[in-house]
């Protein structure tokens, strides 16, 4: 069976109190363990709620893994405001790198993103590397690449499963990554149309609300 990654991106949403409420609701949901074989459920939350989310996952014994949404390109040191790999590793196993919102609003370049990937790898954190197409450079050492066409992110206008399949296939062929995923206006209604495609190993829905 194909391994599937379901990765929630909370973006810049949720306070600690809202995180508590969310986990309380989710704790009533019956995760069917048999259905979770070969599935990895990952939640990428803001830095400010990583600690709370980790405690709540343990408390409710949920089959959810944690990810951060960014990582400093520097190791620990005099970098005011930065959160480094050593700090993230205490709470999270994954980190989103290269999301189009960071490329666009924070001018993150391919060079900077390669440094972030190197830092994640140094601390054993798995990079979830986002690209807007198969021609975008993917730093070496990245196993999970997520194709997120800019026109589909947060617009309610997803790519077609056929097109997403073509791009994900090209990504796998070009960089020999282990997995390629799709993100952009994924919903509970359309998720299967993407995950049933042979080259698509999961999805990254966002929103956080």
Helix axes 50-60, 16-27, angle to 10 degrees: 20
* Marked catalytic residue, from 40, 99, 108, 165: 99
Residues that bind ligand PGA (CB under 6 A): 9, 148, 153-154, 183-186, 204-207
Q: What is the DSSP letter of 88?
A: H
Q: Give the nearer residue to ligand PGA in terms of CB position, either 67 or 85.
A: 67
Closest distance of CB 139 from ligand PGA, Å: 19
When the beta carbons of 81 and 156 are compared against ligand PGA, the nearer one is 156
Ranked by CB distance to ligand PGA, the top (closest) residue is 206
By beta-carbon proximity to ligand PGA, the closer residue of 133 and 154 is: 154
Q: Minimum distance between the CB of residue 7 and ligand PGA, rounded to whole angstroms?
A: 8
Tell me, yes or no, if 176 is annotated catalytic. no
Q: Which of 40, 108, 132, 148 is catalytic?
A: 148
Closest CA to 194 of 166, 153, 154, 155: 166
Find the shortest distance in angstroms from Cβ 100 to ligand PGA.
7
DSSP 159: P
148 is annotated as an active-site residue: yes
DSSP letter, residue 34: G
**Residue 104 to residue 87: CA distance in whole angstroms:** 25
Given the complex with ligand PGA, which of 124 and 156 has the nearer CB atom?
156
Helix or strand run (H / E) with residue 156: none
Q: Taking a C-beta distance cutoff of 8 angstroms, is the pair 208, 13 a contact? A: yes
Cα–Cα distance for residue pair 82/155, rounded to 1 Å: 30
Q: Which residues are catalytic?
A: 99, 148
């Amino acid at each position: 069976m194909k391994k599937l990654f379901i990765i929630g991106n909370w973006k810049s949403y949720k306070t600690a109190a809202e995180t508590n409420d969310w986990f309380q609701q989710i704790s009533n949901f019956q995760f069917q363990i048999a259905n979770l074989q070969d599935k990895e459920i990952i939640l990428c939350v803001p830095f400010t709620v990583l600690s709370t989310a980790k405690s709540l996952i343990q408390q409710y014994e949920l089959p959810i893994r944690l990810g951060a949404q960014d990582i400093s390109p520097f190791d620990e040191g005099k970098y005011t405001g930065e959160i480094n790999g050593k700090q993230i590793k205490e709470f999270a196993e994954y980190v989103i790198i290269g999301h189009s919102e960071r490329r666009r609003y924070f001018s993150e370049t391919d060079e900077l993103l390669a440094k972030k990937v190197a830092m994640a790898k140094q601390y054993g954190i798995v990079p979830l590397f986002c690209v807007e197409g198969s021609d975008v450079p993917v730093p070496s050492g990245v196993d999970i690449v997520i194709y997120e066409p800019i026109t589909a992110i947060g617009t309610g206008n997803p790519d077609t499963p056929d097109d997403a399949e073509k791009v994900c296939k090209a990504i796998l062929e070009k960089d020999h990554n282990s997995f390629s995923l799709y993100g952009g206006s994924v919903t509970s209604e359309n998720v299967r149309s993407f995950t049933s495609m042979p080259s698509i190993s999961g999805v990254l829905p966002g929103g956080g609300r």
